[in-house]
Structure 1
Amino acid sequence: MTHRILIVGQDPDTVDFTAPGIIPGMTADKVRAGVTASKQSLEGQGYSCDNLYVQPAPAVAETEVAAALSRATYDVVVIGAGIRNPPANLILLETVLNTIHRVAPHSRIAFNTRPDDTDAAAVRWLGR
């Protein structure tokens, strides 16, 4: 059975890269490149992997996450550091977590530390 992974991050075009909690020097292009590399790494290991960039408005993100989780069953959902780390994103993080808990309570939740270690975050929780 192929494990299925969903990567959830804030749309890089909506991120304030000067905000506290954002990795210094990070850019939208670096986010996309890191997530793409992690996704390719996971697929190269035989995993099925989808990526979802959500809008920063919690109500919109809730709808986006619920829709993605309704389309497929995921073994692991990785929540990006761009959602988790900035203090201003607390409500967005809570919204994403509670949506996963409500719509896909069987899915494991993992956290990356940067876009390019998303694959390691997902693999940590597969098969547990």
Structure 2
Amino acid sequence: MTDVLAIGFDPRTIPGFDPEPVLAGIERSGKAMAERGLTEDLLLIDFAELDGRAQARIVERLRARQYDCVVVGGGIRKPAELLELFQTVVNLVHWNQPRAAIAFNSGPDDSADWVLKALEQRATHNIG
């Protein structure tokens, strides 16, 4: 099995946001990962934890075990006002999982595809 950590916001904690479509996407993503032989470990960050608690939770999870790939979700990557958090998350992955491929998605429904592309790129470059 290929171990994947997916990091994103818990959509239920984002003020003024309808979480249901994202939660349904997360469920579909988990099924798509399993269908492709990927074991997904999901880390959903509380939107209110942007004061450093989120980073501590991410580091704790990254140090808990080795992952083949880490997906940084679009909710963390896309909003310009979260650029500093996005940079921090990418660096935390790089520093704590240096052998893991890093993938980005446009939404939960294409996470598995991007994981496979990132793993293929890693293999092409003879890493891992």
| Alignment correspondent of 1:40 | 31
Q: 1:31 aligns with which of 22, 33, 37?
A: 22
Give 1:14's aligned amino acid: T
* Aligned residues of 1:77 and 1:109 also touching (Cα < 8 A): yes
Q: Aligned pair count?
A: 119
| Alignment correspondent of 1:23 | none
* Aligned residues of 1:9 and 1:54 also touching (Cα < 8 A): yes
* Aligned residues of 2:36 and 2:112 also touching (Cα < 8 A): no
Distance 1:76 1:40, change over 3 A: same
| Alignment correspondent of 1:108 | 101
Give 2:113's aligned amino acid: A
Q: For 1:67 and 1:114, locate their aligned partners in 2 and report how far apart those are by CA, in whole Å.
A: 24
C-alpha RMSD over aligned residues: 1.6
Give 2:7's aligned amino acid: V
TM-score, normalization: structure 2?
A: 0.84
Aligned runs of 1:1-128 on 2, under 5 Å?
A: 2-16=1-15, 27-56=18-47, 57=50, 59-127=52-120, 128=122
* Aligned residues of 2:71 and 2:111 also touching (Cα < 8 A): yes
Q: Which runs of 5+ in 1 are unaligned?
A: 19-26
Could you say which structure has the greater relative contact order, defined with CA pairs below 8 angstroms and 6 or more residues apart?
1
Decide which structure has greater helix share.
Answer: 2
Partner secondary structure for residue 4 of structure 1: strand
> Identity of aligned pairs, percent?
33
* Aligned residues of 1:69 and 1:103 also touching (Cα < 8 A): yes
Q: For 2:20 and 2:46, locate their aligned partners in 1 and report how far apart those are by CA, in whole Å.
A: 17
* Aligned residues of 1:35 and 1:118 also touching (Cα < 8 A): no
What do residues 89-109 of structure 1 show as CA deviations (whole Å, max 9, x unaligned)?
112111211111111111111
TM-score, normalization: structure 1?
A: 0.84
Runs of 4+ in 1 over 6 A off after TM superposition: none
Shift of 1:14: 2.7
